[in-house]
Each structure stands twice: as structure tokens, then as C-alpha cells.
Amino acid sequence: MATFKDRDVFEYCEKLYEQFKKIDNGYYPHKHDDAVFQQVANHFAIKKKDAVDIYNSYSKLATKLEMMRINRLPEKKRKAALMRRMQDIVLNNKDLPFYKKEGEPSSPILPTTVSLENDLKEPVINVAKAGWTRAFLRRKNRRRNCKSAE
């Protein structure tokens, strides 16, 4: 289960990726990946492998949400959206030669934090409006109080 620290690690990764992309005018995995995860590991005093695992778990969630959105499209639009997305991913990777021939991606690859926020914002607002969060917290506090009274 993700923790607040995991979220902070992930957001810091995204921030560093954006900085490196601006400095180098694009995403170069051979340069950026190792540098990002090493800096994150140093910043949070964790292992580099843990930084990679945390980043990958959040990225996996974002990809799953994006695929759910794409899969709701009619078949023809779904195939076009998948091809466009795959092309954008390949063209975004400056280590590969394709962007030189094909040009820039049709749309920028948004940071995962942005896509997660876009996908989860409405459900979170709906849950909050329904008052589920308050009831859940009250129930949780009651259980905690009962356990401490024992």
C-alpha cells in the first residue's frame, strides 16, 4: 500500500524528470533515468531500487487508468488512440532515432502526477460530497478508541 512518503518520492521523481527534460530539450533515458533515481535515493535516504519500484508502481496505476479510458472508446477510435499514444511514447524518447525522422510527438507526454490527478479528481470530489470520508474517519476513530480502552 502506498504511503505519503511513497507519494513524495514519486512526485520528486516527476519533478526531476521535468527539470532534466527542460535542460536537455527532451527525455534521454540513458542520462535521465539513472540520475533521477540516484538523486531521489539520496534525497530520501532510500535505496535506488526502492525509488525505482515506487516510481514504477505509480506509473503502472496511471497507465492502467489511461488504458481504461481508451478502452471505453469505440473500436476504430480506440485503435487510433492506441497507435497515436504509442507513437508519442516512441517519439518522446530522444535516445531513439525516430523523432529525428518523424518529428515531435503529436501531444506532450504529461507527467504522471497530472494524469493521475485528472483521472482521480472527480471520483475523490464525489466521495467527499457524499460525506463518505467523514463517516469513514468517525468509524475508524471509534475502532481506535475501543482498542485503546481495552
Residue 22 to residue 81: CA distance in whole angstroms: 27
Q: What is the DSSP string of the chain?
A: ---HHHHHHHHHHHHHHHHHHHHHTSB-HHHHHHHHHHHHHHHHT--HHHHHHHHHHHHHHHHHHHHHHHHTS-HHHHHHHHHHHHHHHHHHBTTSTHHHHH-S-SS----HHHHHHHHHHHHHHHHHHHTHHHHHHHHHHHHHHHHHH-
Is residue 48 scored above 60 in pLDDT?
Answer: yes
State the cell numbers at 128: 467527499
Summary mean pLDDT of the chain: 83
What pTM was estimated for this model as a whole? 0.70
pLDDT at 145: 57
Residue 47, pLDDT > 60, answer yes
pLDDT tens figures, 11-24 = 999 999 999 999 99
pLDDT (tens digit per residue) in 83-118: 998 888 888 888 888 878 888 777 777 677 676 677
Please, which pLDDT band fits residue 35 given cuts at 50, 70 and 90? very high
Task: Please report the pLDDT score of residue 129 as a whole number.
Answer: 74
- Candidate from 46-60, 73-87, 89-103, 136-150 with smallest mean pLDDT: 136-150
Instruction: Report whether pLDDT(7) > 70.
Output: yes
